[in-house]
Amino acid sequence: MAADSSFARKSLGQHWLDDQPTLAEIIRSAEITPDDTVLEIGPGPGSLTRLLTQEAGRVIAVELDERLARQLPARLNVDNLAVISQDILRFDFDQLPPNYKVVANIPYYLTGKLLQLLSEITNPPSIAVLLIQKEVAERAAASPGAMSILAATLQFYWDVKLGPIVPAKLFVPPPKVDSQLLVLRRRTKLLFDDVESKDFFRLVKLGFAQPRKTLLNNLSAGLHRSRDETISICERASLDSRRRPQTLSLDEWHQLYRAIHA
């Protein structure tokens, strides 16, 4: 089922993958069993969808492009596939069974919003295997020294791993940059059991308000505290107020949260 570039819509960021080793790696990374319900986002012409229907008990494919959504059931002709023509950002995830899995080759323009959505919905997947822009995948899995709000958010909710790099030439039509597989496994319990997540991420966002500035500058302005008060908060958290936000680990953000809410 080779992808045809003449059907790709640039406005929807459509770049289809028909490379069998890569598709097989996506299936393997999602650890799919016959008991699983799998949500595929953006199935396109169905190269990956076909493999998913062979492994999973049920596949729900959400496709924004109405033309492709109409064609896909006839292309595959299988009983365990449901195709929904809808914007995934408007999809009701609560209709899915607990511990469903997500597999997606994501249009680059959608990546940030979708990662945030999957992290914060009330019925999140147990595993999400996402083929995304390589640079964004690297940011998601970053270690202290190169952290960002994206990395802090994903690593708070998920165990984050990087899969293989997928060269642009393997897509039809080829995008301008390489992609990489991002494997997210939902944490079975909260990373910190004494944290209100909204307050925690409000703090992280304040800390990253201007990433090139120090915690002292960002938090003093964001928390409306004097510089001396902010230094004192950082000292209670055993942190140097001169550090920059990208150097902090999640544990250190937790220390800072506790110091503020003590």
- pLDDT tens-digit map of 14-60: 788 999 999 999 999 999 999 999 999 999 999 999 999 999 999 99
pTM for the structure as a whole: 0.92
Domains by residue range for the chain, with CATH:
5-186 (3.40.50.150), 197-261 (1.10.8.100)
The string of pLDDT tens digits covering residues 61-114 is: 999 999 999 999 999 999 999 999 999 999 999 999 999 999 999 888 899 999
Query: Shortest CA distance to 186 belongs to which of 93, 76, 87?
Result: 93
- Report cis status (omega within 30 of 0) of the bond before 173: yes
